[in-house]
Amino acid sequence: MRIDILSVVPELLDSPFSHSILKRVIEKGLAEVHIHNPRDFSTDKHKKVDDYQYGGGAGLVMTCQPIVDCIKNLTAQRKYDEIIYMTPDGEQLNQGIVNKLSLDQNILILCGHYKGIDQRIRDLYITREISIGDYVLSGGELGAAVLVDAVLRVIPGAINNEESALTDSFQDNLLAPPVYTRPAEFEGKKVPEVLLSGDFPKINAWREKEAYKRTRDRRPDLLD
């Protein structure tokens, strides 16, 4: 899989891809992540990528020319399964979307900034718009990092024990059950006896029951 990210503040993405699982995925050759700065394509002598809104109003808007030229440069080199714009008014990210995107070969992600991008870019080039929640960030970079992390961790080989990813919250539309580790008793609280029994059918049944109970209590909307 190859992921290209367009960002006017590429430095914000240095850390997420330099550590932990994402670093290992890239080092293993399971995925490539490339960052591109639309400023490099700006024809403005000051490399500006923003301008005032038509109709007035507070805040600047990212302009068409540098973004579109950057997109055209990349799409001339390869076909993208999705060109995604990270935006608060996009469809809310969930595990189903993540699983589907993990099957793609090439994904292009555009990070908004300021008041967002010129609507014509969205109309002409964007194939999917995604939000990571009902709130506004300073830019799309952190949202893009969240999306890429979620997608790459479910690629086969990304996690040493692939069963771990398959039992995460939301994979079966349930929250994950409680988990415990050593010691068997801590500050008077004991690990449930069933987890110490070695009876795996009973353990699996307990986990399924607890997952359903936690989902019912915390996210009943998922059961609908």
pTM of the model: 0.90
Alpha helices in the chain (DSSP H): 20-27, 64-75, 95-101, 119-124, 141-152, 162-166, 200-218
Can you read off the two tokens belonging to residue 110?
């555009």
Task: Per-residue pLDDT tens, the chain, 224 aa: give them.
Answer: 999 999 999 999 999 999 999 999 999 999 999 999 999 999 999 999 999 999 999 999 999 999 999 999 999 999 999 999 999 999 999 999 999 999 999 999 999 999 999 999 999 999 999 999 999 999 999 999 999 999 999 999 998 766 666 667 677 889 999 999 999 999 999 999 999 999 999 999 999 999 999 999 999 999 98
Report the alpha-carbon distance of residue 65 to residue 70 in Å, rounded: 8
Q: Which three-class secondary structure state does DSSP give residue 161?
A: coil
Pairing of strands 189-190, 185-186: antiparallel
Residue 192 is given by DSSP the state P
Go through the domains of the chain in sequence order and give each one's CATH number.
2-152 (3.40.1280.10), 167-223 (1.10.1270.20)
Beta bridge partners of 131: 92
CA distance 203 to 103: 32
| Alpha carbon 43 to chain centroid, angstroms | 31
Residues for the chain: how many in total? 224
Q: What is the pLDDT of residue 44?
A: 95
Q: What is the pLDDT of residue 34?
A: 97
Rounded Cα distance between 27 and 168, Å, is 24
The pLDDT assigned to 154 comes to 94
Three-class SS state of 59:
coil
Q: Which two structure tokens, joined as six digits, stand for 118?
A: 């010129």
